[in-house]
Structure 1
Amino acid sequence: MLYGVCGTHRSGKTTAAKLLAEQLGIEFLDSSFDVAKKFGYNPVGDLSLTDRLAMQILVLEDHIEKLKAAPRPLVTDRTPLDYFAYTLAQFGMMSHQQTEPRILEAAHAFAQKCLEETKTYYDMVFVLDPLTVYTPDPSKATPVANPAFQLHIHALIHGAVSQIHREINYAMVPVMPLQDRVDFIAQQIVERMNDIDDLRQVEGMH
């Protein structure tokens, strides 16, 4: 079973996912966007659309390889829906003036791949609403405080979920105290696991 916590930067994904893993006694996979640095990219730097897309493709591939190698049950602090959002956030109405048509087509194909990978690997995803206070972490590659961009990412993740909401299990997690957030997610997971056990028992009777 694979569970993903997703959301905009500084929404508490990693903190919540780590506590969730500890509380449920399952494995945690840190999917920090800092992984982009090992490929030679600064994810919060001024990249061209071509380089931004190339970076995201590598980061998604790295994420999927780690998922394949990790034990189950597992919780991650990012999902392909995050990569979907952070890629499309860079493309706008005038992007055709900034790059080649093949890059625009490749970005669209990448977004579709993110949706497919989410459906393929994740049993359930949890979308965290942004925290009311944005606190930059200088130790990590996170954008500076920019509420409009943060809201943009959040909206794109919601949009990604809407594309596949009939094909995945998901829950929206509102802003609340950290432990309440973790308890909310844990309850959803336990209920999901109980539903699967009930289904297996029914199938075993036939």
Structure 2
Amino acid sequence: MNRFGISGAHKSGKTTLAKHVASKWRMKYVDMRLSEVLRAFGASPNEIIPFADRLNIQQNMVKHCINLLDEADTNYITDRTFIDVAAYTLSYMPHAVSDIESETVKLIINQCYQAQYAFFDKLIVVGNGFEPPKAPDAHEKAAYSWAWNFQLQAIIKGLVLNGNMKCPVSFIGDQISGLAARNDKIDTIIAEAQRDAALERLIH
């Protein structure tokens, strides 16, 4: 078991944790670079765009992530996963959508579930433990909103608790808010996952 991914709401510390894991456990850090897909379509995270256009972008994000992970091969940690793509897709969905849009959402969600299982041995969901300081490139990222983040966190939890989720999941709860405590928790998760995988190999 050596393909790990971190999911969580915006500014929940995913990249910081992923870089820590990559350094300590000698894994390849894969920056999923989802903002590149937005820029390719002339959009920005803070821009309000028609939902049909948003769905087109989300479909291309799935393809983008698959291409990145195909190149990564194995032994990696990512700072976002297909579950994040699915969650953002749902978070942007208005109350009233067309039948075609509804079917497209269903297609994206199913693709995300399938790709999550295909490319990851373990998903680690990070809670909203803290709001990090404003980054220099903050204008290129979605603006922080407690309400929207809470919604994203609820959507992510709903996605991973759904019966279609086949990839194993561990959680780092909101109560673990300090960086050192989060690092310790994710180290424990990685160690236990690798130990269990080693035992499984011995058994079989």
TM-score by structure 2 length? Answer: 0.90
Structure with larger Rg: 1
Report the Cα offset of residue 119 of structure 1: 1.5
Query: More displaced, 127-136 or 149-158?
Result: 127-136
**1:7-46 to 2 correspondences below 5 Å:** 7-36=8-37, 37-46=39-48
SS of residue in 2 equivalent to 1:116: helix
What is the total number of aligned residue pairs between the two structures? Answer: 199
Instruction: Report what 1:60 is aligned to.
Output: 62
Report percent identity of matched pairs: 25
Q: Distance in 2 between matches of 1:179 and 1:32?
A: 25
Report the Cα offset of residue 164 of structure 1: 4.3
Instruction: Report what 1:167 is aligned to.
Output: 166
**1:86-165 to 2 correspondences below 5 Å:** 86-93=88-95, 95-96=96-97, 100-133=98-131, 135-137=133-135, 139-140=137-138, 141-164=140-163
CA contact under 8 A between 1:4 and 1:77: conserved in structure 2?
Answer: yes
Evaluate the alpha carbon distance shift between residue 148 and residue 47 of structure 1 in structure 2; reply closer, same or farther with a 3 A threshold: same
CA contact under 8 A between 1:125 and 1:171: conserved in structure 2?
Answer: yes
Q: Distance in 1 between matches of 2:196 and 2:130?
A: 34
SS of residue in 2 equivalent to 1:133: coil
Q: Deviations over 1:183-202 (max 9, x none)?
A: 21122112111111112112
CA contact under 8 A between 2:3 and 2:121: conserved in structure 1?
Answer: yes
CA contact under 8 A between 2:159 and 2:165: conserved in structure 1?
Answer: no
Tell me if 1:74 matches 2:76.
yes
Q: Deviations over 1:57-79 (max 9, x none)?
A: 11111111110111421000000
Q: Distance in 2 between matches of 1:193 and 1:115?
A: 23
RMSD, aligned CA? 1.8
Q: Which amino acid aligns with 1:101?
A: D
Evaluate the alpha carbon distance shift between residue 193 and residue 23 of structure 1 in structure 2; reply closer, same or farther with a 3 A threshold: same
Q: Deviations over 1:88-117 (max 9, x none)?
A: 111132x23xxx321221112111211121
Q: Deviations over 1:102-143 (max 9, x none)?
A: 122111211121112112211001111013336443514322
CA contact under 8 A between 2:15 and 2:79: conserved in structure 1?
Answer: yes
Evaluate the alpha carbon distance shift between residue 88 and residue 56 of structure 1 in structure 2; reply closer, same or farther with a 3 A threshold: same
Evaluate the alpha carbon distance shift between residue 66 and residue 50 of structure 1 in structure 2; reply closer, same or farther with a 3 A threshold: same
Evaluate the alpha carbon distance shift between residue 160 and residue 198 of structure 1 in structure 2; reply closer, same or farther with a 3 A threshold: same
Q: Distance in 2 between matches of 1:92 and 1:39?
A: 21
TM-score by structure 1 length? Answer: 0.89
The runs of 5 or more residues in structure 2 that have no matched partner are none
Query: More displaced, 150-159 or 128-137?
Result: 128-137
Evaluate the alpha carbon distance shift between residue 164 and residue 2 of structure 1 in structure 2; reply closer, same or farther with a 3 A threshold: farther
Q: Which amino acid aligns with 1:114?
A: C
Report the Cα offset of residue 166 of structure 1: 6.6
